Structure 1
């Protein structure tokens, strides 16, 4: 990913710096040079130079042998959120959905074979799911991921499954390639996906696609605790409201 592959315009140093920044998001904790080197696959001297530059520019801070990001780095993510028409227009709809159902809900898109959360409205509970705008999750075992994959061609789905480590996240995780392809067909036919404790024990979620002029461009979901909400509740109580949000967002984005 960090190789130029013969591209004379590719800036390897920038790619390395971004890889170091990203490893902080993956680990969500201060990191040493050795830890960042393991996470990125870069040499320790390369990581040290990247971190030194980030500290000089005010994006990171050093405390002994550990490094942590500083608030200035938020400007990088906010630049996307403030310029993304989809995220900005979805946020008030997600806020309304959260207030209506008293559950956390999110908008996600595909990026690098993962679901990227680009907007989220949360409820406050003692036990809650630690997700936020910028979070990333696998496609194959999440409700938004399956909705997004269901919107692609069979060739695309097969290629994704071949290159992906379909690790079981829980005893309930579906990892069989043939079974997943059948699930994608069912999701495409029914227009929604439900995940029942496949990503994490105690977590259920339901998602629907958001259509754009070229097909499925995003997904909207509701995540909840299995102890409080049954699969039947997801279908009968939450699915109609979720579909209305997707339809409203489709209309706002000018999709037919």
Structure 2
């Protein structure tokens, strides 16, 4: 079983130009390569560690890190033993969120949903094999990762992910699952592709997906997919504790209001 950390995208990032792509700026790609080195770590990184994780040589890494530090996109750690992502990156996070039409339209709807159902409410954006949280309203029981915008979770094992997948055809779902890392997050996590596909079909029929104990122990979650032009673009997640809810009662209370919220959002897009 794995800890709940950032989910790796199903499509690997390529930092090299494709053949014949004369517009590709290699130096820009190298800068992104350096920033991507921080994705899987939990501490400040030395220049040597950044070079190793990014796949660049130390000389190139040093020049790029120096440039990014001058622009405040990389900063020294408080103990001066390594580097961390810089605060200026948060400016770009804000731009992503404030300019995204789904986040704009969903925010007032989700605030109203939170008033009617006082549990955790999340909006996630569909990104191939994973869901990236873009808006989060917390309940009284939370973990560190459950509070972070930008945290990503696997589509195959989460309510919002299966709800988003339910807006696709079976063949498309199989293709996504074929590129997903189907690992156990808890003892209850389904990892067999056909079992997952069956749960996606149930979500397609019901209009929502339900997950119990599969991604977080002790949690029941409802997910409702959001589409535009017939394609999934995100999902609403509503999550509660099994110490306070039975699965049946949570479905009765949360699913209708979550589906209504999703319809309101899609009507406004």
TM-score (norm 1): 0.88
Q: RMSD over aligned Cα, in angstroms?
A: 2.2
Aligned to 1:230: 246
Count of residues in correspondence between the two structures = 253
Residue 171 of structure 1 corresponds to 187
Alignment of structure 1 residues 20-99 onto 2, 5 Å: 20-27=34-41, 29-63=43-77, 64-99=80-115
For 1:5, the equivalent position in structure 2 comes to 18
The alpha-carbon deviation at position 129 of structure 1 amounts to 5.7
Kindly state the Cα deviation for residue 126 of structure 1 after the two structures are TM-superposed.
Answer: 6.5
Does the 8 A contact of 1:108 with 1:219 survive in 2? Answer: yes
| Alignment match, 1:135 | 151
Alpha carbons of structure 1 residues 251 and 42: separation in structure 2 relative to 1, 3 Å:
same
CA contact (8 A) 2:126 2:235 kept: no
Unaligned runs of 5+ in 1: none
User: Distance between the aligned counterparts of 1:126 and 1:167, measured in 2?
Assistant: 23
Higher RCO (CA < 8 A, seq sep 6+): 2
How far residue 109 of structure 1 moved from its aligned partner, in angstroms, is 1.9
Question: What is the deviation of 1:2?
Answer: 1.5
1:202 to 211, 218, 228: 218
Inter-partner Cα distance in structure 1 for 2:166 and 2:182: 17
For residues 227 and 215 of structure 1, do their structure 2 counterparts lie closer, same or farther at Cα, with a shift above 3 Å needed? same
Distance 1:143 1:149 in 2: 10
Structure 1 residues 39, 233: CA separation in 2 closer, same or farther (over 3 Å shift)?
A: farther
More helix by share: 1
Structure 2: runs of 5+ lacking an equivalent: 1-13
